[in-house]
Amino acid sequence: MADRMCPSCHTVLTLKEKDYPMGSAFLKADRFHVDIYECPECHGVRLYAAEPELVTCPKCGSLHSPREACAVCALNGAIDEATH
């Protein structure tokens, strides 16, 4: 990932808090995670949407967030339930 830069000082921002959960204020279903950066020059704090690291589902091989259950498997399970 490229370094985050302060737009006013053009200084590399310091990562203060990674993947910080903001609660469900913005998104109802999914929690909104942010990376919190601070500028060492002007002490401005900037928030960036956290880039989720994806994991590979061992069952179906699809990529999904480690914070969530695999959507494909959940869907397959729902279909299985409906057809039984």
Site residues for Zn ion per CB under 5 A: 6, 8-9, 39, 41-42, 44, 57, 59-60, 70, 72-73
Pick between residue 42 and residue 79 the one whose CB is nearest to Zn ion: 42
Pick between residue 9 and residue 27 the one whose CB is nearest to Zn ion: 9
Instruction: Work out how close the CB of 65 gets to Zn ion at its nearest, in angstroms, rounded to a whole number.
Output: 12
Pick between residue 21 and residue 40 the one whose CB is nearest to Zn ion: 40
Question: What does the DSSP 8-state code read for residue 68?
Answer: S
Q: Give yes or no for a contact between 52 and 34, defined as CB atoms under 8 angstroms apart.
A: no
Question: What residues have CB less than 8 Å from 40, skipping those under 6 apart?
Answer: 11, 13, 14
Task: Compute how many other C-beta atoms are within 10 angstroms of the C-beta atom of residue 37.
Answer: 21
